[in-house]
A and B are shown apart, each in its own frame.
Chain A
């Protein structure tokens, strides 16, 4: 937790969050998402769902209590002071302590197996995940809220409280639309469960209950905007800006990596790109969803969360590098079951955001937290000792030899990441290729993600969890 008291500099997203506090505090609800004289949408316009706006409103009220200058309309733009920084950092810390940390602790103690010591180790490893720390406390965002809510959803479903779980997940989606990456598994799991209980009797009743919960939660979140259809459309338009192209900057997903070979962005029209990415995403997420639908257990659910969100990250439209946090959350949940692949994935995901960290001047925190994470997760989970055993879940699958990961390969890959990191920061790229290092970083991480997507899919489809891993709390 102490790592989170670091004080790196802040850029765009810090001002964006402060600006949203200013907008929501000063303007009436119906102007929040509209371009008006007081609300210039081109200057960090609000483009997250209503819950984010309400959170900003709450923070804005607190801020104005402490110092009204912080949220003064117009004049506060670009405001920065050490007291204000402290306030903003404190809001992240409080959100983290309220939403994310308790969810992680509860998950480890109720939904993972092993001795108490192993559970504590698991909590530490999950909380040490550098990607989330660096993005939330360095770059400045509130991912711990949306991810925490999603984790509460997983907890609810895992413990059999389907209504509360879906409530939490709907709140997560309404905090950040990117949570839709996780929606397919939630949907399939609940639907599969209903089917299992029989669509004629209890299953139908459960389905109706869940549907009502979801609808009511959505309605409540959107209540101020439901007065006018124009409002809803405008909010949706802000949430899903289709016009921004297939990808921006360097993202470690398929389209950006493919762009090295074929210039997709210039060859295809925006519409074709949209359909292509939609088709590819659904195709990639299909196998795991169908498997989950037929076999709704917690183990399958966790794997499906990884597979679906990773498929979205790799193939969908307009992906940000920060969206890798969405697959990273369910992978964190697998740390206890599949230590080596999980640590590997989490390390690669942190590495894939390196260009962003360099832009924010976060190289030292990045280097320190990543080394700490690799060292402690290997030490605490003894990830590499397990890798030779059946933990890799691939014993029977000799058809994919390139998937048989070993500690040697892991260390080699981590060394390559370290090397690339130091090259990015120390060497100047050749004049002809100014983007050489970011591109290398994203292609290198993309290969990891693709390999691990295949791996997690294979694990999910081929392997039911071994008997001793079966959780007694799993749904019957």
Chain B
């Protein structure tokens, strides 16, 4: 009895509070304040995943481990002028200068673990202390990611407030981001620092989302500059984020530098705020100057740039990322086989497309693709999306959508794309997924397909249970939680069939195919099948997301 009374009283109190908030017309934006008292679940969620990461310390690690060890050694033992000239190891420094400085900072901690890892000549050095240090450095720098997730969760919009914590959008978002399958296996098994980098990206996004939320964040204009600053830093840490720079540039120019719109929503040219433009420009330029300045002063800029953009690599990575080019290659292969059968073609050069190390190869029937062609494709594909947020800006949400589209464009059309790059789209898309039903459907398609396409990264038998259990955990959670959040199915029958097909592909490739006689003669078929099948799903999500940004009627509500 007593407990029923208490519940009733609590409900009344909550209703009263809600009425007060609604009457002030700010209900959507105050959400962060009204739930600020119950954030104790967040450390539990974040610590849990950190514990899990620690248990993966002894797992398999890829050559990226040696790449980063080599960079630690280079930055620690050589003067700055030699950083981009050193080539003892084949894994030369090919990230921008700020990342080199980041490694330099890490190396000062590393020397307390094992000094031998800091010697450039110690190729392939991986003592237990080295492994421990490198793994812990990834786990520790993930603090940035955890903080960014918290900031993103605070800026999530919510419509109904009186629900169970487990179906609150910000809780689901935190779980989807912190426990993201891709980050777990790419960072903590395969070995990279994506958590740290994506943390900066998400933090920058969160800063833009928080503008307008003026109860909790009073200094709104400063937030845009902070977001821009963070993105400039990010660009100087890893230049792959250049692909999403158009979204940033257009959004900041259109929505920050131009302060007023015409009545029909088009830009009012006279409202350009020079102060804002200069502030923005000076922030970006000073970050870049800090990063590249010393190398320009030493006259090494061409050398640095040649390291950053190695166009000598092939169109596709050793394992084809599931994008347009994977489909293109397969069509080419099919046509050439068909042509030979039908005696339409004679004497084609034998092209081995994914033979171990990265290499160039010629297409047999279709025209070969050059780096500049991929660049043009990427730019052309980005253009409509960017134009749409110029013509009718839809606030920070529209910007975020554009950012995801840009990331996906680069993934679909880029030169030498890694399968890992899909994370650049999946993580920001999670934020949109907990706010709109349609995006949730796209997210489920893209995340499941994209995550599955990471499977070939971990090929050792011992990692098999880990990768399967983790992907099941993440996928099941994302399906059930988003379904609960939006109260209904998010995918149609065709989409569900396609996703179930992933299981069939995995079973055929890993169980059935090794028993067949072609295993010896055609060992690449399994990888090829996986990447082609996944590229269908990724392309589908890409097109749906693109349509959502171009559709004028479906305007997300403004903040």
On A, residues with C-beta under 8 Å from B are 1-3, 5-8, 82-83, 85-86, 89-90, 93, 364-365, 367-369, 371-372, 375-376, 379
Contact = CB atoms under 8 A, between A and B. Distances in A.
Interface in B441-493: 460-462, 464-466, 469-470, 473
B351 interface: no
Contact of B58 (A86, A364, A367): A364
- Interchain residue pairs A-B with the least CB separation, the first 5: A368-B54, A372-B51, A5-B466, A6-B55, A5-B465
8 contacts: A3-B51, A3-B52, A5-B469, A6-B55, A6-B56, A368-B51, A368-B55, A369-B51
Counting chain A CB atoms within 10 Å of each CB, the highest count among B460, B469, B470, B473 belongs to: B469
B48 A6 contact: no
Contact of B461 (A1, A5, A86): A86
A82 B51 contact: no
Nearest to A89: B465
Of the four ranges (under 10, 10 to 19, 20 to 34, 35 or more), the interface on chain B belongs to 20 to 34
B469 A7 contact: no
B469 A376 contact: no
A240 B355 CA distance: 60
B58 A8 contact: yes
Nearest to B460: A82
Given A2-B466, A5-B466, A85-B462, A364 B54 contact: yes
A220 B249 CA distance: 78
Contacts of A364: 54-55, 57-58, 132
B47 interface: yes
Contacts of B44: 375-376, 379
Given A2-B473, A371-B51, A379-B44, A7 B58 contact: yes
A81 to B, nearest CB: 9
Contacts of A365: 55
A201 B334 CA distance: 84
B33 to A, nearest CB: 24
B52 A2 contact: yes
Contact of A1 (B40, B58, B462, B469): B469
B42 to A, nearest CB: 12
Contacts of A375: 44, 47
A368 B132 CA distance: 13
B486 to A, nearest CB: 23
Nearest to A367: B54
Contacts of B58: 6-8, 364
A3 B40 CA distance: 23
B59 interface: yes
Contacts of B461: 82-83, 86
A3 B462 contact: no
Contact of A372 (B40, B48, B462, B473): B48
Contacts of A90: 465
Contacts of A86: 461-462, 464-465
Counting chain A CB atoms within 10 Å of each CB, the highest count among B54, B59, B132, B460 belongs to: B54
A222 B51 CA distance: 44
Contacts of B464: 86
A178 B460 CA distance: 37
B470 to A, nearest CB: 7
